[in-house]
Amino acid sequence: MKKKLWSIVSSVIGTILLVMICLAAFIVLSSRLSGGEPTFMGYQVKAVLSGSMEPTFKTGSIISIKLGDQRTSYKTGDIITFRMEDKLITHRITDVIQENGQAVYKTQGDNNNGPDLWTVPAQNIIGKYTNFTIPYIGYALNYANSKAGSALLLIVPGILLLISAFRSIIVAKNELEGSKA
């Protein structure tokens, strides 16, 4: 009985791991092929690579952001992700300023002593933080987006699928031989 239970549990865990690895491979490969970030129903997942927003979210976490467009408006207190000189930054809006009829945003990281030295024009904003965070997964996501991580995400699922196929063949062969005896 214990052996059968252990077999079922190990099969379930193996299947879950295989699905997670394949899902991660799909996300990374689809983003590489499309040349952009993977988006699901208007949301994106971003890895947190610095401590500027601690304790709101920790370094190494992943956060979800709701993508914005030109009509989206933001207010003081919103946490936004924006592009600044080829970097993605996620900080809190501390002030909304009108310049030439356009809104620009003053930002600051929660863990920083003072406001950022720049203002963020609306066209640089990618989206708004949705209060969804998973700690530590960002380290894996960041690695998966590297060349070595992408290669690993191609090789590991392939090897796991081959092992699973051989295991199924061996189990089927043993069951067939057992039924003949």
Active site residue 50: yes
Instruction: Tell me which residue of 62, 20, 64, 72 sits closest to 43, measured CA to CA.
Output: 64
Cβ-based neighbours of 50, under 8 Å, separated by 6 or more: 59, 109
Amino acid type, 76: T
Catalytic residue among 50, 146, 164, 168: 50
Query: What is the Cα–Cα distance from 35 to 29, expressed in whole angstroms?
Result: 10
Angle at 134 between CA 132 and CA 137, to 5 degrees: 140
Which amino acids are annotated catalytic?
A: 50
